[in-house]
Amino acid sequence: MHDQLLFSSAVWLVWAAPFLGVFAAGFTRRRDPHISGDKVLRHDGAAILEHWTHGVGTAVLLLSGILLGLRFGFTPSFVSGKDIALWMNIHFVAVIVFLFGTFYYAANTVLSSHRFAEHLPTKNAFQFTKQHYGKLLGFKFDMPAEDKYFESEKVAYLLAVAATLGVIVTGFVKVVAHMVSVPGWVMGPVSLLHDISTVAMLTFFLAHVFFAAIAPFSWPVLSSMFTGYVSLEQAQHEHAGWYARLRGDREQEQAESEERDVA
């Protein structure tokens, strides 16, 4: 079975995928959010690409990893015999897609640091999260002036980053173990941390799918992960702080354009 594993015969792709992600980011021209008629550009093409490659890769990694079995009592193995090699190879393909999307996102973030800052929680994180979900549950809370991302999303983002880093670092060690002999005293803690990171990633992923795709209130924003745009009304109502900033930027650009025309 060992000879059939892509982790052995095509392991070079694991090292190439991060490089390709960074390389692609270097040739990507980003578009900042802006108001366009009765729509607002929320996600440009690069954001859509990195979201779906990372997301689909994560989904298949979690599915195949759980079927293969998480060690230390997390889950048993649900496959056996030749199916193990099949799901290991599916896991391998998911690794390639996941690494490309993750490093493409990371490189884009480094090249435009404000895209990382917009994901970080602010001092309003607790208060805004309470108001946001309190209103969804029927309590009489006023909608806070949220930014492009809700404060609750920003808190969850930190969990996602930590879980992703844990999976990647420990995953690379596990890949190396397919190439050279790695001592058991190293692989034991690495495997444990890999599985803990997987459980953390699964927790975030399930919550993300529910709040970003299944719950009806998320559907207007979900469509923006395909089209790039949300309606002007959606931006005004759900992301008042973000909309106000975009409107100010547009008014400033119009004023500067008028000044140039006069000159």
73 close to 89: Cβ distance less than 8 angstroms: no
d(CA 159, CA 204): 7
Per-residue pLDDT averaged across 102-117, rounded? 89
| Out of 36-40, 100-104, 128-132, least confident range | 128-132
d(CA 69, CA 72): 10
Q: Which residues of 18-34 are buried (b: 16+ CB within 10 A; e: fewer)?
A: beebbebbeebeeeebe
Could you tell me which residues are beta bridge partners of residue 35?
A: 40
Top mean-pLDDT range of 134-148, 209-223, 246-260? 209-223
Per-residue pLDDT averaged across 88-112, rounded? 94
pLDDT number for residue 263 = 60
Locate 237 and state its tokens.
């109502």
User: DSSP of 143-184, one letter per residue?
Assistant: PP---SS-HHHHHHHHHHHHHHHHHHHHHHHHHHTTTS---H
Encode pLDDT of 17-76 as tens digits: 999 999 999 999 999 999 999 999 999 999 999 999 999 999 999 999 999 988 766 778
* Statement: residue 230 has pLDDT above 60: yes
Encode pLDDT of 137-194 as tens digits: 777 667 678 899 989 889 889 999 999 999 999 999 999 988 888 898 999 999 999 9
d(CA 68, CA 256): 60
How high does pLDDT run on average in the chain?
A: 88
pLDDT number for residue 36 = 92
pLDDT number for residue 68 = 92
109 close to 26: Cβ distance less than 8 angstroms: no
Top mean-pLDDT range of 48-52, 198-202, 253-257? 48-52
Q: What share of the chain is helix, strand, coil (3-state, %, to 5)?
A: 70, 5, 25
Does the predicted TM-score (pTM) go above 0.85? yes
User: DSSP of 100-142, one letter per residue?
Assistant: HHHHHHHHHHHHSTHHHHTTS--TTHHHHHHHHHHHHTT---P
pLDDT number for residue 1 = 47
Supply the CATH classification number for the domain 2-262: 1.20.950.20
Which among 163, 177, 174 has a CA at the least distance from the CA of 62? 163
Q: Where along the chain do its domains lie? A: 2-262
d(CA 213, CA 185): 42
Q: Would you tell me how many other CB atoms lie within 10 Å of the CB of residue 36?
A: 12
* Statement: residue 255 has pLDDT above 80: no
